[in-house]
């Protein structure tokens, strides 16, 4: 049927390889002509990941992005309810990551904490900061 769609959920689990590795998964759809063939490449890193954690104080919020070496953006968002957001990325010698954090409000300031390879400070540890 033209323009039909079918979602097939698939889950994979990999152990960290001894060396960086690309896993190629071939995809073939042949239920009706024409047959469609493609591949998905999953990049596995041998490097131990480091987590970037962002937490906002209960009356503020902060939004940010981790900019990866390939210039891909990974959004981080900590809301007024003191929720934390986390992104894990590989630690590769010589690669640099950038962290951009902004206050989404033009009427006030936001207080936030960032942690690398550790949890960001909790709201209680930020209690000394006042607006």
User: Tens place of pLDDT for every residue, the chain, 131 residues?
Assistant: 667 777 888 888 888 889 989 999 998 888 777 888 899 998 888 887 777 777 776 556 777 888 888 788 888 877 665 556 777 877 777 778 888 887 766 666 666 667 666 665 554 444 444 44
> Contact, 55 vs 84, CB < 8 A?
yes
Q: Which residues contact 12 (CB under 8 A, 6 or more apart)?
A: 42
Integer Cα distance of 26 and 39 in angstroms = 4
Torsion of CA 78, 81, 82, 86, to 10 degrees: -40
Cα dist. 74→31, 43, 55 in Å? Answer: 36, 17, 16
């Amino acid at each position: 049927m033209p323009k039909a769609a079918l979602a097939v959920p698939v889950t994979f689990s990999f152990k960290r390889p001894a060396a960086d590795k690309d896993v190629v998964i071939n995809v073939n759809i042949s239920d009706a002509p024409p047959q469609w063939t493609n591949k998905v490449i999953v990049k596995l890193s041998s490097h131990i990941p480091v987590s970037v954690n962002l937490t906002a104080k209960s009356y503020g919020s902060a939004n940010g992005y981790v900019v990866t070496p390939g210039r891909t953006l990974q959004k981080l968002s900590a809301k007024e309810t003191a929720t934390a957001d986390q992104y894990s990325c590989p630690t590769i010698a010589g690669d640099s990551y950038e962290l951009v954090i902004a206050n989404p409000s033009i009427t006030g300031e936001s207080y936030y904490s960032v942690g690398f390879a550790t949890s960001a400070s909790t709201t209680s540890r930020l209690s000394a900061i006042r607006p």
